[in-house]
Amino acid sequence: MLPIKSKYKIAKRLGSAIFEQTQTQKFALSEARGKQRTRKSGRGGASDYSRQLLEKQRLRFTYGLKERELSNYAKRAYTETNPTQALHSLLEMRADSIVYRAGFAPTRRAGRQMVSHGHILVNGKRITTPSYKLKKGDILTVREGSRTSPLFTRAEGDEMFRVTPQWLLFDPSLMKIEILGEPTYSLAETLIDYSTVFEFYSR
């Protein structure tokens, strides 16, 4: 696990959205001051390679992937008719991402822990692989023996119950997630330009 100082340093380069600890007003103000100093000094004309590397790293840290994992996902997606949509689906349909996006976990890292520790069932079967690929129609539930764990007991109105995407159906009372469809890529929503990531890997 990265120390907080390292996360702040990485987030200054890649953006505050990649770590929950950096999504604060204090960090936003610090980031704005840094950008202002950069503009005044006349720096900031990044090369194509720097821009591509930055976007690739932003994507990798957002989903908590190793370099080899992201590279393999990108290669697989690039063979599809719509590589951008394919890569987005591959990343969002991971078990740890689904657990996070539905609201079971406060962060993707926590989602990985929930899955790897065996707390999650898919169609009634226990899984322990965070990268487990899910599909439309799959149902995720919390294992009976894990339901009283502090991981899953929260007060009503807890901030962890974020807005659930339309392609997921989340029932907190049953601790159940149903996958109704597939995620649709939107640059405005993800804030990551996948085409730039493909440019990096095609060099």
Flag whether 121 is in a domain.
Answer: yes
Neighbouring-strand partners of residue 201: none
Separation CA 65–CA 67 (nearest Å): 6
Give the CATH number, domain containing residue 111: 3.10.290.10
Query: Which pLDDT value is given to residue 189?
Result: 85
Q: How many domains does the chain have?
A: 1
| Residue 116 domain-assigned (yes or no) | yes
Q: Is residue 3 part of a domain?
A: no
**Most confidently modeled range among 29-38, 45-54, 62-71, 159-168:** 62-71
**Higher per-residue confidence, 107 vs 153:** 107
What is the domain range of residue 140? 94-179
Q: Does the model's pTM come out above 0.95?
A: no
Assess if residue 58 is contained within a domain. no
Question: Does the pLDDT at position 107 exceed 70?
Answer: yes
Domain assignment present for residue 36? The answer is: no
For residue 9, being part of any structural domain is answered with no
- Is 109 within a domain? yes
Residue 197 covered by a domain: no
